[in-house]
């Protein structure tokens, strides 16, 4: 695929450059709680601004139902982008309507505009090719060139990700080029030992990637809510912990495959439990107790890996040459259940190997827990996209950037 450096060499002064970014940031009301994804697109936007392009930034945010919804407006993201660029950023109150057309038309060379949430138009996510294509046609009318830099969305066959590049000269931005380069290190000529730590709530979200990793990784460390389905598959008592009962047979099969293929599958040996899920807003102390992983009381739920497991996982990461981590080890948003995730993050920082934090909640946890982002080899902006790449799937947004 062609990159933004090739575009800059060709010259973009005066051209309208459509940048498909990923500004899907978490919001508390109208306040951005983590601006990592906005900062990730800055190198691409700054380079285009410095080259005199008229930059049109577009993204989705959340899951609106194909119509305007003030709760999912990109206005806060546009404002934050302006702060980070230290300059004005115009904001269009629609995607392809009169405001978008007028806002783009008013741009001078080196100026930036942000369009309203792309998912306010049903054509963005439509499964109907014609409807999606019609929306892509309207977006294409706003630009001369397309730059794909929203890695967190490249696994979606959406109008701005998949259909629009076919209608304009297209290039990969700096973020996508970096993300693809990193993922190749996890799939091609991997340095060993290769250790993967997987957490998060649902084991069903990770089954396909586990299937792939059983043939590639040397060790798999399992934590988070998904761990309890693994523990149940081993016959352990897990109380009222999160469980996907329908996935137990598949998990049993993977446990057997790991043993036969020589992949070390490491499960929690102790967990922190409580009788109820913590209030993540009030964050009042919950006084959890630590129990063995095979002895969760019948009326309690596991909410984090325990201290022994944290130490065990750190030891399994210590000699890694390559590490991929996706998914927190517990309910890290509450201080009572953050230490397991902190232990894994610290182990990655201490590791001399190449470490990749696989986006989503893992990236949010790193920032929430106060770690220096530069201490990790790479922090991905796309959890779902990263996982699908590791599964070996063709990502529509990357395929669309290929010539």
Measured distance CA(56)–CA(89) in Å, rounded? 10
For residue 173, give the nearest of 353, 1, 337 by alpha carbon: 1
Distance (Å, rounded) from C-alpha 358 to C-alpha 385?
9
Nearest to 44 by CA among 92, 7, 88: 7
Phi and psi (nearest 5°) for 325?
A: -125, 125
Output DSSP code: residue 197: E
24 touches 60 (CB < 8 A): yes
The catalytic residue among 202, 234, 367, 393 is 202
Q: Is 219 marked active-site? A: no
Which residue out of 37, 54, 132, 157 is catalytically annotated?
A: 37
CA angle 23, 364, 76 (to 5 degrees): 35
Judged by DSSP in three states, 326 sits in strand
User: In the numeric block, which tokens belong to residue 98?
Assistant: 């009169």
Q: Is 384 a catalytic residue?
A: yes
381, 359 contact by CB (below 8 A): yes
Q: Is 327 a catalytic residue?
A: no
Catalytic residue, chosen from 148, 327, 382, 384, is 384
Our answer to whether residue 185 is catalytic in this structure is: no
Which of these is catalytic: 224, 360, 383, 397?
Answer: 360
- Which residues are catalytic, by number? 37, 202, 360, 384
């Amino acid at each position: 695929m062609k990159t933004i450096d090739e575009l800059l060499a060709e010259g973009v002064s005066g051209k309208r450059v459509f940048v498909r970014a990923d500004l899907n940031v978490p919001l508390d009301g109208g306040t951005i709680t983590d601006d990592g994804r906005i900062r990730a697109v800055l190198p691409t936007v700054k380079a285009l601004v410095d080259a005199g392009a008229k930059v049109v930034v577009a993204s989705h945010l959340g899951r609106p139902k194909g119509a305007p919804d003030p709760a999912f407006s990109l206005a806060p993201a546009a404002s934050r982008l302006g702060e980070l660029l230290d300059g004005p950023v115009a904001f269009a109150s629609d995607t392809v309507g009169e405001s978008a057309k007028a806002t783009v038309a008013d741009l001078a060379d080196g100026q930036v505009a942000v369009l309203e949430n792309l998912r306010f138009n049903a054509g963005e996510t439509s499964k109907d090719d014609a409807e999606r294509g019609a929306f892509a046609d309207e977006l294409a009318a706003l630009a001369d060139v397309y730059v794909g830099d929203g890695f967190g969305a490249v696994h979606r066959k959406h109008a701005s990700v998949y259909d629009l590049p076919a209608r304009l000269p297209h290039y990969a931005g700096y973020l996508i080029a970096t993300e693809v380069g990193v993922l190749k290190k996890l799939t091609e000529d991997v340095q060993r030992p290769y250790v993967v730590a997987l957490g998060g709530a649902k084991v069903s979200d990770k089954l396909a990637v586990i299937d792939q990793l059983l043939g590639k990784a040397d060790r798999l460390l399992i934590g988070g809510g998904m761990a309890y389905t693994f523990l149940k598959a081993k016959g352990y008592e897990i109380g009222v912990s999160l469980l996907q009962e329908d996935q137990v047979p598949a998990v049993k099969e993977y446990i057997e495959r790991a043993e036969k293929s020589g992949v070390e599958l490491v499960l929690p040996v102790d967990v922190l439990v409580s009788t109820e899920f913590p209030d993540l807003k009030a964050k009042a102390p919950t006084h959890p107790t630590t129990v063995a992983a095979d002895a969760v009381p019948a009326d309690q739920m596991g909410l984090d890996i325990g201290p022994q497991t944290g130490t065990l996982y750190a030891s399994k990461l210590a000699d890694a040459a390559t590490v991929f981590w996706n998914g927190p080890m517990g309910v890290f948003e509450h201080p009572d259940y953050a230490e397991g995730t902190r232990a894994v993050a610290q182990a990655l920082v201490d590791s001399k190997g190449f470490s990749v934090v696989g986006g989503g909640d893992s990236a949010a946890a790193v920032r929430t827990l106060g770690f220096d982002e530069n201490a990790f080899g790479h922090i991905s902006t796309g959890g779902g996209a990263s996982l699908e790449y590791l599964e070996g799937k063709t990502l529509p947004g990357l395929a669309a950037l290929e010539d």
